[in-house]
Amino acid sequence: MTDTPTMSAADRAAMLVGGSLIVVGTVVLGLIETFVGNPSPVPVTNEAGDVIAAPTIPVEIRATLIGLGLLVWGCYGVYRLAAPSGGDATATGTAATAK
């Protein structure tokens, strides 16, 4: 029988926060931009250089949300590398050497 690992609170939090930020930055804001905003993602100018139409949600906000989501996942990955796995524990110290 295989032992299936359970997810800790840190696992759930990283998936929830990181995934939510990425989904909001791509899907939700993309749909809002599609249905409400200008179809062109770049600012449209006339011959005089005046901005006629700009994106409803600035690209910087979307990029920041996606970047924060990736940062959360990256920090979680570093945490998983640094945290003890809790698997097979080996005995150390004086009790192990006394055997």
Beta strands in 1-99 (DSSP E): 44-45, 51-53
CB 26 within 8 A of CB 62: yes
Per-residue pLDDT of the chain (99 residues; tens, 9 = 90+): 555 578 888 889 999 999 999 999 999 999 998 898 776 667 777 888 787 777 788 889 999 999 999 999 999 999 999 988 765 555 565 655 555
